[in-house]
Chain A
Amino acid sequence: DQQVKQNSPSLSVQEGRISILNCDYTNSMFDYFLWYKKYPAEGPTFLISISSIKDKNEDGRFTVFLNKSAKHLSLHIVPSQPGDSAVYFCAAPIVQGGSEKLVFGKGMKLTVNP
């Protein structure tokens, strides 16, 4: 039961261009979303988040957009840099089994070519 879906496994973009990473969710109870970035052989690191009361959150080169009616969010990186090459996970906290935990998508591998 995949409540958070990242349907594209990979994306390749040129340095300086925009990277758009998509995420869909099925649970309408989700009210907060996070993006994590993961380099090989490292743990995920928090990148940016958005509350469901907003439709946009911006932090430097990173912007997350939320479309609640479509149950869709996207992460925009502009301009993309080679150091952005990593796997990006979309996640949402859910209360289940008596506690709140994160539900992750499968991740998308972004490659930014110099």
Chain B
Amino acid sequence: NAGVMQNPRHLVRRRGQEARLRCSPMKGHSHVYWYRQLPEEGLKFMVYLQKENIIDESGMPKERFSAEFPKEGPSILRIQQVVRGDSAAYFCASSPSASRHYEQYFGPGTRLTVT
């Protein structure tokens, strides 16, 4: 039973490029969360999605950031025109149901470096 998968594990982008981060939840999980961890900080909530729906994007910057969780395939966090301040570790978590949100299982993260 594979855990939450994230790829790539490391991503280097130049300022102004686009970054695409992918997350495959655990089998049977239909709820996906994205968190960002800046250096020396805790994880900060960005967005919560269910299949084909964005439920809560209150933690996501209004510009340049978007997320989706299509019916088929992984969840995608997309960052357009990256800036140095986007350099962080991005973690995806999944949970099996809406009633057990706090049982979130995390992926290994994608470390984004913007040069």
User: Which residues does A use to contact B, with CB under 8 Å?
Assistant: 4, 6, 9, 32, 34, 36, 41-46, 49, 89, 91, 93, 96-107
Most A C-beta atoms less than 10 A away, residue of B4, B42, B91 = B42
Chain-A contact segment, one of B11-19, B71-79, B97-105:
B97-105
A-B contact pairs, 10 of them (CB 8 A): A32-B102, A43-B91, A46-B104, A93-B101, A96-B58, A97-B59, A99-B48, A99-B55, A101-B56, A101-B101
- Could you tell me if A100 and B102 are in contact, using CB atoms closer than 8 angstroms? yes
B54 → chain A, closest Cβ, in Å? Answer: 10
Once the chains are docked, how many angstroms separate the CA of A44 from the CA of B93? 9
A9 → chain B, closest Cβ, in Å? Answer: 8
The 4 closest A-B CB pairs, nearest first, are A97-B58, A43-B106, A104-B42, A99-B56
- Could you tell me if B106 and A45 are in contact, using CB atoms closer than 8 angstroms? yes
Q: Which residues of A contact B101 (CB under 8 A)?
A: 93, 99-101
- Could you tell me if A106 and B91 are in contact, using CB atoms closer than 8 angstroms? no
Closest A residue by C-beta to B4: A43
- Could you tell me if A107 and B42 are in contact, using CB atoms closer than 8 angstroms? yes
Most B C-beta atoms less than 10 A away, residue of A36, A97, A98, A100 = A100
**Chain A CB within 8 A of B108 CB:** yes
Closest B residue by C-beta to A97: B58
Closest B residue by C-beta to A96: B58
- Could you tell me if B55 and A98 are in contact, using CB atoms closer than 8 angstroms? yes
- Could you tell me if A49 and B102 are in contact, using CB atoms closer than 8 angstroms? yes
- Could you tell me if A44 and B56 are in contact, using CB atoms closer than 8 angstroms? no
CB neighbors of A among B31-56 (8 A): 33, 35, 40-45, 48, 55-56
* Given A46-B103, A89-B42, A93-B101, A101-B59 contact (CB < 8 Å): yes
**Chain A CB within 8 A of B25 CB:** no
- Could you tell me if A44 and B43 are in contact, using CB atoms closer than 8 angstroms? yes
B31 → chain A, closest Cβ, in Å? Answer: 10
* Given A41-B108, A43-B4, A45-B106, A101-B42 contact (CB < 8 Å): no
Q: Which residues of B contact A42 (CB under 8 A)?
A: 108-109
Once the chains are docked, how many angstroms separate the CA of A97 from the CA of B63? 18
- Could you tell me if B107 and A4 are in contact, using CB atoms closer than 8 angstroms? no
